[in-house]
Amino acid sequence: MGRPIDDSDRAAVKRLHAKGKSRNDIARAIKRSPSTVSKIAANLDPPLTFDRAPQVEAATAVRKADLAARRTAFAERLQDIAEREADKLSAPTLYWEWGGKDHKYAQKLADEPIPADRRAIMGVISTALDRSLKLVPPKDDGASESRSVIGDLMAGLARDYAERHGGPPPEFVADDQAAEDDADA
């Protein structure tokens, strides 16, 4: 059986808890088990708790924000790589080789990469862009905003027509549809 809990243990738990120490840190400091520290804390008046959910939640939110910022930074690096590689598609390219029995060095400056090298460059560009977009997907392509602007414009035109003509505008029927409707009648 362990040593009994005394007033110095209770005072130490109060003091260390007030400093924000965890249950396990307090247990190590007073050389007691974590379960003993929990018993002491529960029997104090008022009882002390070691509920760290708010701190854990805040730390988790900070960690997620840090990771999001790092993903964004890395996505930007991948975008930079893709742009640098795209510049190589039409840039002069130096080709060289060692060959022959005398191991001669030969080089040639081409106006742009050969097709095989262009394919390889396109592969690098594609991979870099794909990974960049997976790390930080685009938020909006603007299409929904355009649709809402057009919808707002159409509604405004309908209101204006109703004010000037005393009623809603007639339904628009395309010439093709009008010809079909006339044939059905």
pLDDT per position as a tens digit, 122-136: 999 999 999 999 998
CA–CA distances in Å: residue 141 to residues 74, 131, 138: 21, 18, 7
CB contact at 8 A, 129 and 79? yes
Distance CA 173, CA 181 (A): 10
pLDDT tens digit sequence for 137-169: 887 666 666 667 777 777 878 888 888 888 887
Query: What would the mean pLDDT of 36-41 be, rounded to a whole number?
Result: 93
Share of the chain above pLDDT 70, in %: 88
Percent residues over pLDDT 90 in the chain:
56
pLDDT at position 1 is 62
Q: At what angle do helices 115-135 and 53-88 cross, to 10 degrees?
A: 160
Whether the pLDDT of residue 178 is over 60: the answer is: no
Q: What's the confidence (pLDDT) of residue 43?
A: 92
Q: Which helix (H) or strand (E) holds 173?
A: none
Q: Give me the pLDDT at residue 66, please.
A: 94
> Could you tell me which residues are beta bridge partners of residue 116?
none
pLDDT per position as a tens digit, 43-77: 998 998 888 778 788 889 999 999 999 999 999 99
What six digits make up the tokens of 9? 């243990």
The stretch 78-104 carries a mean pLDDT of: 92
Highest mean pLDDT among 28-37, 95-104, 147-156: 28-37
